[in-house]
C-alpha cells in the first residue's frame, strides 16, 4: 500500500512539474509590455481597424502609398503602423465584420511575447457570430503595428453543419457513382442485341447485292444470246438474197432491219 501511494505521489509531482514547465515566465518589464500591448490592442487598434474597414476608406487608402499612410496615422492619429500591413488588416476586418454582422462587444485581450514581437489575441462578439482579432506589435517602447487580422470563430453548430454538408456531399457522390455503374451494367444486356441487329442488316444487304448481281448477269447473258441469234439470222437472210440474185458472196449486201411477215 505504501509503495502504491509513493508511486501515485511521484506521478503527481512529475505531472505538476510538466504543467509548470509549459507556462512561460516573464520578467516584470516584459509583463508590463504585455499588459500595455493588450490595452493598446483592445482599446486602440481593434476600434481603429473597425472604423476604417469600410469600402469607402479602403478605396481611398488604396490611392496612397504605404509611407503616406504611415505619416498620416502617426501625426493625426498618434498610431505607428506599417502601411502595407494596415491595408491588409483593413481587408481582413472588412470581410469578417460583414460575416459576423458587426462588432457588438470587445472581450479581454491576451498577449504573449514572441522574440521581437508581442502577439495579442482579442475576442470579438458580433451580432450573428464571434471572431478573434490577432494583433502583432513590435516588442519595444514604440509598439508599432506590424500585422493584424480578424478571424471568424466557428461554433459547434457551424462545425456540425459543415460536417453534415460534407457527409451529404460524400454520400451523394458515392450513390451517384453506384447508379452510374448500375446503368452501365444494365446496358450490357442490350449490346448483343444491337450488335446482332447490325449483323443481320449487313447480311441482308450482302444478300440483296448478290441477288442484284445475279439478275444483272442473267439479263446480260440473255441480251448476248438474243444478239447472237440476230447475227445468225442476218447471215442466213443475206446468203439467201445473194443466192437469189445469183451472187457468189454476200459482199455488198447490208441488212437494215428484220421484220416478221404478217400472215
State the average pLDDT over residues 13-19. Answer: 52
| Pairing mode, strands 110-114 and 117-126 | antiparallel
CB count within 10 Å of CB 90 equals: 22
State the average pLDDT over residues 94-107. Answer: 92
Of these ranges, 53-67, 202-216, 218-232, the one predicted with the greatest mean pLDDT is 53-67
Mean pLDDT, the chain, integer: 80
- Is 190 within the bounds of a domain? no
CB within 8 Å of 41: residues ≥ 6 apart: 109, 111, 120, 122, 133, 135, 137
Whose cell is 442476218? That residue is 234
Q: How confident is the model at residue 86 (pLDDT cuts 50, 70, 90)?
A: very high
- Is 256 within the bounds of a domain? no
Number of structural domains in the chain: 1
Under a CB-based contact definition with an 8 Å cutoff, are residues 150 and 96 in contact?
yes
The pLDDT of residue 124: 95
- Is 49 within the bounds of a domain? yes
The pLDDT of residue 172: 87
State which residues form the domain around 31.
2-153
pTM over 0.85: no
Question: Comparing 201 with 110, which gets the higher pLDDT?
Answer: 110
State the average pLDDT over residues 137-162. Answer: 85
- Is 175 within the bounds of a domain? no
Rounded CA-CA distance 80/165 in Å is: 44
Rounded CA-CA distance 94/42 in Å is: 17
Amino acid at each position: 500500500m505504501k509503495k502504491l501511494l509513493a508511486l501515485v505521489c511521484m506521478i503527481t509531482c512529475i505531472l505538476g512539474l510538466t504543467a509548470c514547465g509549459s507556462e512561460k515566465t516573464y520578467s516584470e518589464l516584459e509583463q508590463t509590455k504585455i499588459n500595455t500591448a493588450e490595452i493598446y490592442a483592445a482599446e486602440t487598434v481593434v476600434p481603429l481597424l473597425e472604423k476604417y474597414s469600410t469600402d469607402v476608406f479602403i478605396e481611398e487608402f488604396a490611392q496612397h502609398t504605404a509611407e503616406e499612410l504611415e505619416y498620416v496615422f502617426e501625426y493625426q492619429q498618434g498610431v505607428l503602423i506599417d502601411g502595407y500591413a494596415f491595408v491588409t488588416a483593413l481587408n481582413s476586418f472588412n470581410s469578417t465584420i460583414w460575416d459576423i454582422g458587426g462588432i457588438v462587444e470587445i472581450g479581454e485581450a491576451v498577449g504573449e511575447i514572441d522574440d521581437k514581437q508581442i502577439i495579442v489575441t482579442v475576442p470579438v462578439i458580433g451580432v450573428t457570430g464571434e471572431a478573434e482579432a490577432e494583433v502583432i506589435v513590435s516588442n519595444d517602447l514604440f509598439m508599432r503595428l506590424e500585422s493584424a487580422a480578424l478571424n471568424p470563430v466557428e461554433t459547434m453548430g457551424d462545425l456540425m453543419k459543415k460536417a453534415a454538408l460534407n457527409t451529404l456531399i460524400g454520400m451523394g457522390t458515392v450513390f451517384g457513382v453506384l447508379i452510374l455503374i448500375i446503368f452501365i451494367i444494365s446496358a450490357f444486356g442490350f449490346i448483343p442485341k444491337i450488335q446482332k441487329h447490325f449483323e443481320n442488316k449487313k447480311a441482308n444487304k450482302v444478300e440483296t447485292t448478290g441477288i442484284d448481281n445475279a439478275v444483272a448477269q442473267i439479263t446480260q447473258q440473255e441480251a448476248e444470246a438474243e444478239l447472237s441469234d440476230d447475227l445468225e439470222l442476218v447471215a442466213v437472210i443475206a446468203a439467201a438474197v445473194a443466192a437469189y440474185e445469183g451472187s457468189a458472196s454476200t459482199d455488198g449486201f447490208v441488212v437494215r432491219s428484220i421484220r416478221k411477215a404478217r400472215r
